[in-house]
Chains A and B, each alone.
Chain A
Amino acid sequence: MLNNQNLIEPDRVHRSVYTDQAIFDQEVEGIFEKVWVYCGHESQVKNSGDFHCVQIGRQPMIMVRGHDRTIRVLYNRCPHRGVQLCGSQSGNTGSAFVCSYHAWSFHLDGHIRGIPLQKGYEGTRLTAANPDCSMKAAARVASYRGFVFASLAPSGPSLEEFLGTARIAFDDMCDRSPVGEVEIVPVCHRVIQHSNWKFFMENQLDALHPSVTHQSTGVSASRIEQALREAGTTPPLYYHYLSTFASSFDQWDSVQTINFPRGHGILKGYMGLRPNDPDTQDYVASMHEAYGKEKAEEFLGRSIHHVLIYPYLSVQSPLQQLRCLRPIAPDKTLSEIWHFRLKGVSPAIYRRSLWYFNLVNSPATMINADDLENWAKAQWGLESKGGDWVSFHRNHGGDTVEGEVTYSNNGTSEVVMRNQFKAWAAYMGT
């Protein structure tokens, strides 16, 4: 029996939490198959019969819209012989799920609809009234501002309790629309990293790495930006998405992180995404009109770069990007990358999030190319016997604790990782 508490110390963790298969198995069952897991956005399943397949831990699930408009999350498994009922990632299943093997069919709420030659079951233990004849549903489904989550655990904190203050991720995304809503752009980029999921979560709020890891891209983009300026043209805003990575250590150290219970956290903004061009002025005016000046300025003035929902979600709310992790093995993680369109804004405003999606989050990213390389090398390094501990000592003891929340006094404080492992230890328990 593993004693996970011995693996986690306040300022360092044992390498096995990144590499050990038994620990990974325990994470899947004890964390990912219990917490509220993001399934998708309501706008992905607009019509009854629309479905989208999603993995929760190791469980293949279907998010489906019913005739009663309710969104349900069901196990993608025929109760007869176990065959998956949906063979494609998403689509419309009409008024029923029909098994491709023996044509058992199910209503959109998962209840049994029909069994061919049903008389064959007369006198057996299995009748259509038996709940074992219906598709099994996720224990709990809830949504927050259009974002749908499911938990496979029948009890535990509610979705809002789980999200806690980090629900600002979804508020900040939606509040930037004058009608308070976003809509999914139905293209998902999927990228596999040959490394543990924790590297991604740590990296998202790690303010020391960008100017090192992304030096080549940041420097190259700022040089072209400079050349364009010298030639008398204004470089497009999206060049800045790349060139800010070349900021100095001191600049990065001045960006604050806010660390919440359950491992969630925020890296505050640094990109300066409020230019003063006519498109922005129109957009700001529409926000003032919708919410009143004070409220609109509160929404537009929020300083956020990433919000992390531990242990698997990274939301870049000001640019409407979302990355969701699906751990596969200790050294293999799939990330699903989405972005959203603010409802009620001009195409020019949408293009700001589109350019970020194209330049930073696409499979041709000039940013994550170097992150993925780091994490793979980190995985191999931690699999070695060259040392047992991973250091999170930077600024240990130098952060400001206010109740349950820890603020970094230095942007590069490793409080982010310390806070994540505090949550990890609580989930993994003894």
Chain B
Amino acid sequence: MTDARLNERLIEDVVILHNAQASRTGAQVIAPDHQPRKPVGPQSLPMRSAAANQHGSAALQHRVEQFLYHQAELLDGKHWQAYVDLFAADGLYWMPATPDQTEWLDSPSIFAEDVSMMQIRTARVTHPNAWSQAPMWGTSHLVGNAVIESVSETGLVVRSRFQMMELRRDSVRHFAGTYRHSLRVQGDDFRITLQRVDLVNGQAPFDYVLQVWV
């Protein structure tokens, strides 16, 4: 092709100026109901802090955050018994399998452990023949975005987010998600009656398993 012939062809242009058919293009005209069918979007707006405008809220926020930091630090320091002791005697550590779950008795969980089951896990992981504990292993948690969702005379509900990096043998894994703590006021401290943990990657394939709470 000569340059002249190419220029001749390039001058014959078609321009789509009016996009009037926009709603009737491609797959829309062929099968409007093909998957994914549901519009993508959030379920409901996150609850804003219940304490934000109340007197003393900064102090409460501070106490709650310090509690969350302490819990994360106990986990990373492998202080299992002290970690379990943060739970009330009737407390529960719950990691549902999917975020839409509302109860743990009749639907599957990754963790659904009362204090007694947590004692079994503690005893197992500290047993000299817990073979899976032989390789080097450690975690580092970051907790933030704490929002006090509700406050009553006896307790409060706190939502926060976490990032966790784990080293096991020579590999690193990354977990992240949401904590929702139901806390009971006990003196000037808190006890956890329910800790709900929603992992962002809870339904992804697990490369190895979770040995202790996240």
Q: State A106–B30 Cα separation when bound (angstroms).
A: 10
Flag if B123 contacts A358 (CB, 8 Å).
no
Q: Which positions 34-60 of chain B face chain A at CB distance < 8 Å?
A: 34-37
Question: Given the interface contacts A189-B206, A364-B210, A369-B132, does A96 sit within 8 Å of B120 by beta carbon?
Answer: no
Flag if A97 contacts B34 (CB, 8 Å).
yes
B108 within 8 Å of A by Cβ? yes
Flag if B34 contacts A364 (CB, 8 Å).
no
Whole-angstrom distance from the CB of B97 to the nearest CB of chain A? 5
Flag if A91 contacts B111 (CB, 8 Å).
no
A105 within 8 Å of B by Cβ? yes
Residue of A with least CB distance to B123 = A220
Q: State A87–B27 Cα separation when bound (angstroms).
A: 15
A190 within 8 Å of B by Cβ? yes
Question: Given the interface contacts A91-B36, A219-B127, does A363 sit within 8 Å of B210 by beta carbon?
Answer: yes
With a 10 A CB-CB cut-off, give which of A100, A105, A114, A354 has the most chain B CB atoms: A354
**Chain A interface, DSSP helix/strand/loop, else mixed:** mixed
**CB-defined contacts of B205 to chain A, threshold 8 Å:** 190-192, 334
Q: CB-defined interface of A345-374 with B at 8 Å, one 1/0 digit per residue?
A: 001001100100110001111101110111
Flag if A96 contacts B209 (CB, 8 Å).
no
Q: CB-defined interface of A376-415 with B at 8 Å, one 1/0 digit per residue?
A: 0000000000000000000000000000000000000000
Q: State A364–B124 Cα separation when bound (angstroms).
A: 13
Q: Which of A94, A215, A363 contacts B31 (CB 8 A)?
A: A94
Q: State A363–B205 Cα separation when bound (angstroms).
A: 9
Flag if B132 contacts A362 (CB, 8 Å).
no
Q: Which positions 71-97 of chain A face chain B at CB distance < 8 Å?
A: 86-88, 91-97
Question: Given the interface contacts A96-B34, A363-B209, does A217 sit within 8 Å of B27 by beta carbon?
Answer: no
A185 within 8 Å of B by Cβ? yes
Flag if B131 contacts A213 (CB, 8 Å).
yes
Q: State A94–B38 Cα separation when bound (angstroms).
A: 11
Whole-angstrom distance from the CB of A372 to the nearest CB of chain B? 6
A8 within 8 Å of B by Cβ? no
**Chain B interface, DSSP helix/strand/loop, else mixed:** loop
Flag if B123 contacts A362 (CB, 8 Å).
no
Flag if B34 contacts A94 (CB, 8 Å).
yes
Q: State A114–B135 Cα separation when bound (angstroms).
A: 57
Flag if B30 contacts A98 (CB, 8 Å).
yes
Q: State A366–B127 Cα separation when bound (angstroms).
A: 12
Whole-angstrom distance from the CB of B94 to the nearest CB of chain A? 10
Q: State A190–B202 Cα separation when bound (angstroms).
A: 10
Q: State A105–B30 Cα separation when bound (angstroms).
A: 7
Flag if B36 contacts A358 (CB, 8 Å).
no
Flag if A216 contacts B30 (CB, 8 Å).
no
Q: Which of A86, A114, A364, A372 contacts B35 (CB 8 A)?
A: A86
From A25-33, A34-42, A221-229, A262-270, the one touching the partner chain is A221-229
Flag if B124 contacts A98 (CB, 8 Å).
no
A103 within 8 Å of B by Cβ? yes
Q: State A362–B203 Cα separation when bound (angstroms).
A: 11
Flag if A373 contacts B26 (CB, 8 Å).
no
Q: Which positions 147-167 of chain B face chain A at CB distance < 8 Å?
A: none
Q: State A23–B103 Cα separation when bound (angstroms).
A: 46
Flag if A228 contacts B26 (CB, 8 Å).
no
Q: Which positions 78-119 of chain B face chain A at CB distance < 8 Å?
A: 95, 97-98, 105-112, 116, 119
Residue of A with least CB distance to B208 = A372
Residue of B with least CB distance to A235 = B116
A129 within 8 Å of B by Cβ? no
B129 within 8 Å of A by Cβ? yes
Flag if B106 contacts A362 (CB, 8 Å).
no
Whole-angstrom distance from the CB of B204 to the nearest CB of chain A? 7
Flag if B131 contacts A187 (CB, 8 Å).
no
Q: CB-defined interface of A212-250 with B at 8 Å, one 1/0 digit per residue?
A: 010111011101100010000000000100100000000
A52 within 8 Å of B by Cβ? no
Question: Given the interface contacts A189-B206, A358-B108, does A366 sit within 8 Å of B124 by beta carbon?
Answer: yes
Residue of B with least CB distance to A359 = B117
**CB-defined contacts of A373 to chain B, threshold 8 Å:** 131-132, 134-135
Flag if B204 contacts A190 (CB, 8 Å).
yes
**CB-defined contacts of A354 to chain B, threshold 8 Å:** 106-108
Q: State A213–B127 Cα separation when bound (angstroms).
A: 12
Q: Which of B31, B107, B123, B130 contacts A223 (CB 8 A)?
A: B123
In the complex, the 10 A-B pairs of residues with the closest C-beta atoms, listed nearest first:
A94-B33, A220-B123, A216-B127, A190-B205, A216-B130, A363-B206, A98-B34, A373-B132, A96-B31, A220-B124
Seed contacts A103-B30, A216-B129, A217-B120; 18 additional CB < 8 Å A-B pairs:
A93-B34, A94-B34, A94-B37, A95-B33, A217-B124, A219-B127, A223-B123, A224-B119, A228-B116, A347-B106, A354-B106, A354-B108, A358-B111, A362-B109, A364-B95, A366-B120, A370-B132, A372-B208
Chain B residues close to A by CB (< 8 Å): 26-27, 30-31, 33-37, 95, 97-98, 105-112, 116, 119-121, 123-125, 127, 129-132, 134-135, 203-211
Chain A residues close to B by CB (< 8 Å): 51, 86-88, 91-98, 100, 103, 105, 113-114, 116, 185, 187-192, 194, 213, 215-217, 219-221, 223-224, 228, 239, 242, 334, 339, 347, 350-351, 354, 357-358, 362-366, 368-370, 372-374
Q: List 13 A-B contacts (CB under 8 A).
A: A93-B34, A98-B31, A188-B203, A191-B208, A216-B127, A219-B123, A228-B116, A350-B106, A354-B108, A366-B120, A366-B124, A370-B132, A373-B134
